[in-house]
Structures are given as C-alpha cells and as structure tokens.
Amino acid sequence: MDNGVKQAKKRIYCAAYCRKSVEERPDETFGSIENQHEAILNFILSHKHEGWMALPERYDDNGFTGSNINRPSLQRLINDIKEGKVNMVVVYKLDRLSRSLSDFVQILKFFEEYGVAFASITQPIDTSTSTGKLMLHILSSFAEFERQLISERTKDKMSAARKRGQWTGGWAALGYDLDKESKKLVINETEAKLIKEIFDLYLKGNSLLGVAKILNDKGYRSKTITLKSGKTFGGKKFGITHIQSMIKNPLYIGKIKYEGQIYEGEQEAIIDEEIFKRAQEILKENRVERKATKNIDCTGLLSHLLHCKACSTFMIHTYTTKNKGALRYRYYLCSNAQKRGYSSCPTKSINAQAIENTMTDHLRRIFSDMKKIENHPHKQEIEALLSPIWDTLYPQEKRRIFKALVKEIDYNAANKKLGLILNGSDLRLEYDAEFKQVRFFNKWRKEIEIEKEPKIRKNLIMAFQLQNLLEKEKIEMKQAAKWLNLSYARLSQLLMLNFLSSEIKGTIMSWENEKLSYISDNSLRKIAAEIDWQKQRLMWQALISRLTQPK
C-alpha cells in the first residue's frame, strides 16, 4: 500500500447458529449444541486473517425442528441482522438452518437483502459465486427430501401400528389409563362405570343434552390430564359433543378407528358390542339434517361481539319460526346453555332486536357526548350511527360499523347488567338492562299440547310405537317395561290397542279431545279384545251412543 501503511482488514462479525432437532439422530457426529458451537468457533478462528470475528451472543435452538422457522433463537438472529449487528451466519451443516427448501430460499433472500454472507463448515459453500449458490440449492433440496422421507416413514410406522390395534400416542380417553411401561391402554374401573352409565342413560331414551345434564347434575366431569410441568386441563362439565364422541368411539368395544376403518384393538372392552350397536342405531335415527346456511342470511348485529358474562362464552345469533316460516323470531343464545342445558346458565337467551336497539342507543349517547369526534379514526362510522340514515342501512353495513366501534359486549341476566368495551380502550362501561327471555314456542308449546292430549289417544300412539320397535327387534318387552316404568301386564294391555280396527283408530286420532276424554281405557281394551272388526264397530258405536245421550 502507499507509504508502506497496511490497510486494516474489514471486520466481518460472524453469528454461530446451532440447532438440535426434536428427535436427535444417533448417527450425527456433532449432534449436541455444544459440539456444533465449538466446531463453528474453530472454523471462524481459522479465517481470522480474513477479518472474521465471532460474536459473543449465542444463537442456539435446542429441541426445535428444522421444518419451519418458528424458532426463538433464529428469530433473534433475524432481528440482529436487521439491526446491522451481523455480517455472516455460520452453521455446522446446511440442514441446521432449515430442512424446508421454501424456507431456506426465503432465508437466503433475506441474507442477500441485508448483505449477510452464509457459510457451512462441513460443505464448501460460497454464496458470493453462482456455482456456490447452485450447490446451496441442490443441498437444501436434499435436506427437504430427507425431512419428507423421515415424515413418510413415521406415518407408515404409525399406520401399521394402528392397524395392529396398538395405541400410538395421545391422551387416554375417559375410561382408560395409559400404562407407561407397556404403552397400552388399561381400564380405569372408576371411569369405566361412568362410561357404562352414559350408554345406559342414552339407551333409556335420554337425548345427548339430557345425558350431559344428568351427569353434570351428579357432579361428574370430563377426564383431567396432568402434564409433567404440573399444569392440568380437562375436568370440565360435559356437553353434547363430549357425549356424542364417547358414544361413537369404538375404543369402548375394544377396537380402534383409523382412516375410516375399524381394527381390533389391544385394549379390553368396556361396553358390549350389542349395546354399542343399539346406541349407534339410535344416534342415526335421531340425526337431524340441518341446513348449513341457516344463519348466513340472518346474522345479528352483535355476532362475535356479545358474550354471556356468567358463562364467559359467546352468545350465538339464531332464530326460530312460526306459521311455517311466515314469522321469524331472532334471539341470542348462550353457547354454554346450548351445549350443557338451560339450567347451567342464568341468561339462556335474549331477544335479538331488544338488545341491538339498546346497544345502538347507548353508543349514540356515548359518541354524542364526545367533543373530539373529528379526530376519531372511525369518524364516518360514528356519523352514520348518529344520522337518520342508520335505519336505512343494510344489516351487513350496520354490523361492520358495530365491529369498528365496539370491542366486546357482555350481558348477565343474574344481575341485569350490560357491559361494553369500545375499540382502543380497556375500560368496561356498565349499564342496567333487562331483557325478556325468549320462549321457544315451537318446542315448549309442543310439550304443552302433548299434555292436553286425551289419555286414550296417547296410549294408542305409544302402543303403535312400541309395536314398531318390537317388530324391528330394537327392544325387548322387559326393557320397554323398565324404561316406561310399567309392569309387564300393563305393557301387554297397551299393546292390545294395536288390534283395534283401522276405522276406530282413525276416529280416535281425529275426534274432538273433549269427547275422547269420556272414554275409559278399560272400555277401549274390551273392544280391542274382539277379533272380528265388524263386531268391534258395533261395540264402538254403542259406546259412542251412550256417551252422546243427553243426561
């Protein structure tokens, strides 16, 4: 150099990145973090004459997979590169940085953008040349291929194990515990009794929600899982989905389901196959085809905003209809009440129009008192809310404005309090509010009308249904008597009503309730005991004439 003065080499600050995969391979020579770090430091030291200098900060991801970039130390390295602290990244091996080709390419683009070089101590890679870049892409492709190969082998191994009926991991279902030594499921006797009770309750005619309610009232809870860290989860009240999943689970008959196929399992059965089969038949019969798009055209203004304060769950917007859909009644239903029964929630359901109007009034008062609406980020939305055009807006636009202004809404029927949190604020505003609970006439009135039905008509319907179940061999006489809490003799008397002529049955089904109420069950059985339908007709007419004679 001029004047004999040597120009100092430019310093290149090197970051040593090390990673240890989740499942460390035994054939890796430098499998541990410390060995990788030591090898990288020696490699950097050997290039000291080129100005390389190792940074004191360590970037070690211990126990993280290379299939993604969601690693804390890698993210910290990326931030340091953005701040200009790093000039070069050095790894022991290419796949330590990433095993995903797409992620690797993105990382390299990021390095180029910030002028950061990259080196691997076991592979001759120089990113400053086109040949080095080509070699880098080839090696990264093989790294991803190796990862995919390992993944496929693991899936094949698990698939084969499942087909042999082996338990391949995960938390043990209610009714079983996992034996740590044999890695097999063993029956938990206490929980197994609960499983048997669930099936028994369901076969006795209880709905899924009814079974869940009975279990919750008795104090039963879902299985509690304790992690090694001491953290626990589970132990919650039962809901419809809990009960349905257990009733449908072939695990309880000693089998395992894998990719839609049922295989013999290694675990002992808790439930008899015949009981399980009957439960599946009832599930199939009770299944209701629901319109998936029911609420698409009827979304409430407070959807995804309104919570039940008592249950800390969302309130779902839905509706019910009357007069074959001519009238539609909208309401918000607590999702906890929907899943676990109405007795579990004080709020249950509230009229949609009432709470939407109340919230609109509260928001108008809040924003009409604001002196600096000009500086509000949603000035246009506030103006629309306060103006007369609000009532002419489409529901979708009103809903958008609500979501822009409101962060959360909650209601508690127990203390009649309505809560509101605005966007951009953590302050909860509270108001007194009382909303009438929605009465589901299409369900409740049906039950009331059934109670009004004459006894002989209800008995005739029950006799027909029982005969149908018996002919299909879905129940036995003893089971039916037990479920209905009737004696065997009384059940036989009910079934005799099926011997009535079609004409008499039709009259009973269509006649006025008041007239039918005067016909005794005993007189009807006498008619049914007659085999000849013509004679039955004469006996029926004689009975009717006696009832219609003026007293």
Per-block mean pLDDT, blocks of 10 residues, the chain (551 long): 52 92 55 85 90 92 86 93 92 83 79 88 67 64 68 76 74 87 87 92 85 89 83 85 90 84 86 91 73 56 90 87 73 86 82 91 83 76 84 84 92 91 89 76 45 74 82 76 75 84 84 73 83 87 73 46
Q: Which residues, at least 6 apart from 392, have a Cβ–Cβ distance to it below 8 Å?
A: none
Please tell me the predicted confidence (pLDDT) of residue 189.
Answer: 92
Question: Residue 478 belongs to what H/E stretch?
Answer: helix 477-483
Residue 266 lies in a domain: yes
Tell me: do 431 and 324 sit in the same domain. Answer: yes
Which amino acid is it at 506? G
Dihedral sign from CA coordinates of 12, 13, 16, 17: negative
Tell me: do 141 and 13 sit in the same domain. Answer: yes
Parent domain of 27: 9-149
Tell me: do 428 and 528 sit in the same domain. Answer: no
Tell me: do 35 and 113 sit in the same domain. Answer: yes
Please tell me the predicted confidence (pLDDT) of residue 140.
Answer: 62
Residue 158 lies in a domain: no
Tell me: do 311 and 434 sit in the same domain. Answer: yes
Residue 291 lies in a domain: no
Cα(261)–Cα(164) distance, integer angstroms: 12
Cα(362)–Cα(293) distance, integer angstroms: 32
Tell me: do 357 and 380 sit in the same domain. Answer: yes
Our count of domains for the chain comes to: 4
Please tell me the predicted confidence (pLDDT) of residue 248.
Answer: 92
The answer to pTM > 0.85 is no
Domain boundary among 286, 321, 347: 286
Cα(380)–Cα(327) distance, integer angstroms: 35
Residue 165 lies in a domain: no
Q: Which two tokens stand for residue 171?
A: 């938390």
333 CB-contact burial (10 Å; exposed 0-12 / middle 13-18 / buried 19+): buried
Residue 447 lies in a domain: no
